[in-house]
């Protein structure tokens, strides 16, 4: 075992650590970063100090030396308040840089990342690939939700109800009542939105203790996994088992299979692509998504795609049980955090309720849950989430465009009853550079369409992203190239006929190519101004094909 932290020991470094209470014996042990995004701003992260304590104790008991370090904590509903949510995705890329500036700079030997709300799992995975030191993620768990008059109420109900009430359409329960019941404890949003999707992805990649996801926050099960991670990371350092040995192309196929099977969040695609890009892997997640979509049916019906709660999914065996059901089509030779292969790790896995987590020959529905579209309106890619078919949500749509340059304009038009059945609402200027960082405006528009009772009668096309809570009508998101970089979506005019054909994976605008090319796009003005960090993000963010990573120093020098 050759430890980086020992080879970097200088007299002043030793003096610093002696002053922190480390002994000469400690200086010869593996030094492990415990990466903590604890924050009093958001309930998603509020419990992580307690998790960090357990992990540190386990590392010490296993013969390592833990160092707790703090990073940016991005919570969609809290740090998404300013600039129409531009800090949500923009914050993701602060996390790996934050980690690099502490863990790599200090030449620590390994790290355990306490992963919670939507952007921390990809941020941690990106950092793991970049630094390529032994790494484990500890799943922080999901929040408890409440009841009103016998009805279960969670954050999805609150989000939808809040927008509906803004449009003057009151639901069964008041927004005030839901505000008091939807979130009843620490952790991420309940349901198979982006956070629980990404937690399940972490397990499919092999980057956590087996059986960790999803999990009730602050449960005994969560703390048991945290202790096990603290012990295991010390052995991983001794074995030199690194993320690039675990997160191989086969592991990314397994992760894509997981997301398709749980009908998870479309945001997983760009997060996995960003992780692969950070590791220098030559994999195209958009192609992998289509490949796995042809193989993987939908095997569970967790909200927002279906009627089951995330607690039911966990109690049925969670992500590990899902991997067991998917085993015949997985790459079971990938190495996971235990040091064994995926197949070896799944040998004793059990499905505790095969109605909640179905076998391949008895799915909830045929797949795919998520499709990649291309065409004259999306030459590079666009994403559509179909979820579980209900016989009412269309998979094809052809109609005239109603184009909006801002969330506010689209919301006003919906509120005033100007959006007509048969139209395709086009919201642009919401992309990686236009947003910037894709913002959160598209999600509000989608919920407004649903609240107006139009989700099955109009289609929605945007170069923005959607919350993992969103599954309303036929919606095509993350159209690339985006409007702000000259993509065709920026040249669509009111009345242009848009053709969405999911079965053939096409997204077209019925305008001759030369005519479309000759049109002027929107001006250089952005709906959301960007200063400081967001200005740097807008300047440096790369296209969706990279997962929206930022330029590193070598790329900048070579450009």
305 and 389 inside one domain: no
Asked if residue 554 has pLDDT above 60, the reply is no
User: Is residue 254 a part of any domain in this protein?
Assistant: yes
pLDDT tens digits along 197-207: 999 999 999 99
Average pLDDT over residues 171-199: 93
pLDDT bracket for residue 412 (50, 70, 90)? very high
User: Is residue 500 a part of any domain in this protein?
Assistant: yes
Radius of gyration of the chain (CA): 23
pLDDT bracket for residue 473 (50, 70, 90)? confident
pLDDT tens digits along 207-252: 999 999 999 999 999 999 999 999 999 999 999 999 999 999 999 9
As for how many domains the chain has, the answer is 2
CATH number of residue 381's parent domain = 3.50.30.80
The residues annotated as belonging to the active site are: 467
340 and 379 inside one domain: no
Instruction: Kindly report whether the global pTM for this prediction surpasses the value 0.75.
Output: yes
* Residue numbers of the domain that contains 39: 4-144+185-345
308 and 408 inside one domain: no
Strand partners, 506: 374, 501
49 and 113 inside one domain: yes
Cβ neighbourhood burial of 249 (10 Å; 0-12, 13-18, 19+): middle
pLDDT tens digits along 262-307: 999 999 999 999 999 999 999 999 999 999 999 999 999 999 999 9
Are 467 and 480 a contacting pair, CB within 8 Å? no
464 and 499 inside one domain: yes
User: Is residue 542 a part of any domain in this protein?
Assistant: no
User: Is residue 540 a part of any domain in this protein?
Assistant: no
pLDDT bracket for residue 555 (50, 70, 90)? low
Least confident of 15-19, 85-89, 141-145: 85-89
Q: Give the residue from 329, 345, 361 where a domain finishes.
A: 345
pLDDT bracket for residue 444 (50, 70, 90)? confident
The beta strand positions in 390-445, using DSSP E, are 396-404, 424-427
374 and 339 inside one domain: no
The full DSSP string for 363-383 is: -SB-S-SEEEEEETTEEEEEE
Among 346, 128, 339, which residue's Cα sits nearest to residue 234?
Answer: 339
Cβ-proximal residues to 350 (8 Å cutoff; 6+ apart), any chain? 317, 321, 324
User: Is residue 169 a part of any domain in this protein?
Assistant: no
Which three-class secondary structure state does DSSP give residue 7?
helix
Consecutive H or E run containing 136: strand 135-139
User: Is residue 255 a part of any domain in this protein?
Assistant: yes
């Amino acid at each position: 075992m050759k430890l980086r932290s020992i080879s970097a020991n200088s007299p002043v470094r030793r003096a610093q650590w002696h002053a922190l209470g480390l002994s000469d014996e400690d200086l010869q042990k593996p030094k492990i970063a415990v990466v903590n995004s604890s924050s009093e701003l958001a309930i998603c992260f509020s419990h992580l100090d307690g998790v960090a304590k357990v992990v540190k104790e386990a590392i010490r008991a296993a013969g390592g030396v833990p160092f707790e370090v703090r990073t940016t904590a991005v919570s969609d509903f809290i740090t998404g308040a300013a600039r129409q949510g531009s800090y949500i995705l923009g914050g993701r890329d602060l996390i790996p840089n934050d980690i690099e500036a502490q863990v790599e700079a200090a030449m620590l030997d390994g790290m355990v990342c306490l992963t919670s709300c939507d952007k921390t799992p990809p941020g941690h995975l990106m950092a793991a690939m970049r630094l390529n030191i032994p790494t484990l993620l500890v799943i922080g768990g999901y929040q408890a939700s409440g009841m009103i008059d016998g009805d279960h109420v969670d954050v999805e109900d609150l989000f939808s109800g809040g927008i509906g009430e803004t449009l003057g359409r009151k639901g069964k329960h008041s927004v005030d009542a839901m505000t008091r019941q939807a979130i009843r404890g620490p952790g991420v949003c309940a349901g198979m939105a982006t956070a629980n999707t990404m937690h399940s992805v972490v397990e499919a990649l092999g980057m956590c203790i087996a059986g960790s996801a999803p999990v009730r926050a602050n449960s005994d099960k969560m703390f048991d996994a945290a202790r096990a991670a603290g012990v295991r990371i010390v052995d991983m350092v001794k074995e030199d088992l690194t993320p690039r040995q675990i997160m191989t192309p086969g592991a990314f196929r397994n992760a894509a299979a997981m997301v398709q099977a749980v009908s998870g969040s479309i945001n997983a695609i760009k997060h996995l692509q960003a992780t692969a890009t950070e590791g220098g892997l030559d994999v195209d997640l958009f192609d992998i998504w289509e490949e796995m979509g042809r193989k993987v049916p939908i095997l569970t019906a967790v909200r927002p795609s279906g009627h089951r709660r995330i607690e039911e999914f966990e109690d049925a065996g969670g992500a590990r049980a899902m991997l067991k059901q998917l085993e015949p089509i997985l790459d079971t030779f990938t190495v996971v955090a235990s040091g064994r292969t995926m197949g070896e790790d799944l040998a004793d896995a059990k499905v505790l309720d095969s109605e909640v987590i179905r076998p391949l020959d008895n799915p909830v529905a045929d797949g795919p849950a998520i499709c990649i579209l291309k065409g004259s309106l999306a030459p590079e890619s666009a994403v559509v989430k179909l979820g579980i078919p209900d016989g009412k949500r269309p998979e094809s749509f052809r109609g005239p465009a109603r184009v909006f340059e801002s969330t506010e304009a689209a919301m006003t038009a919906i509120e005033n009853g100007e959006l007509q059945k048969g139209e395709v609402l086009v919201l642009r200027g919401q992309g990686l550079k236009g947003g910037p960082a894709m913002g959160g405006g598209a999600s509000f528009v989608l919920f407004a369409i649903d609240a107006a009772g139009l989700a099955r009668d109009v289609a929605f096309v945007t170069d923005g992203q959607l919350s993992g809570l969103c599954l309303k009508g036929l919606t095509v998101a993350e159209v690339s190239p985006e409007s702000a970089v000259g993509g065709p979506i920026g040249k669509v005019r009111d009345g242009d006929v848009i053709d969405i054909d999911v079965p053939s994976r096409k997204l077209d605008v019925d305008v001759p190519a030369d005519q479309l090319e000759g049109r002027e796009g929107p001006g250089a003005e952005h709906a959301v101004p960007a200063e400081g960090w967001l200005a740097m993000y807008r300047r440096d963010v790369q296209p969706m094909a990279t997962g929206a990573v930022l330029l590193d120093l070598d790329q900048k020098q070579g450009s």
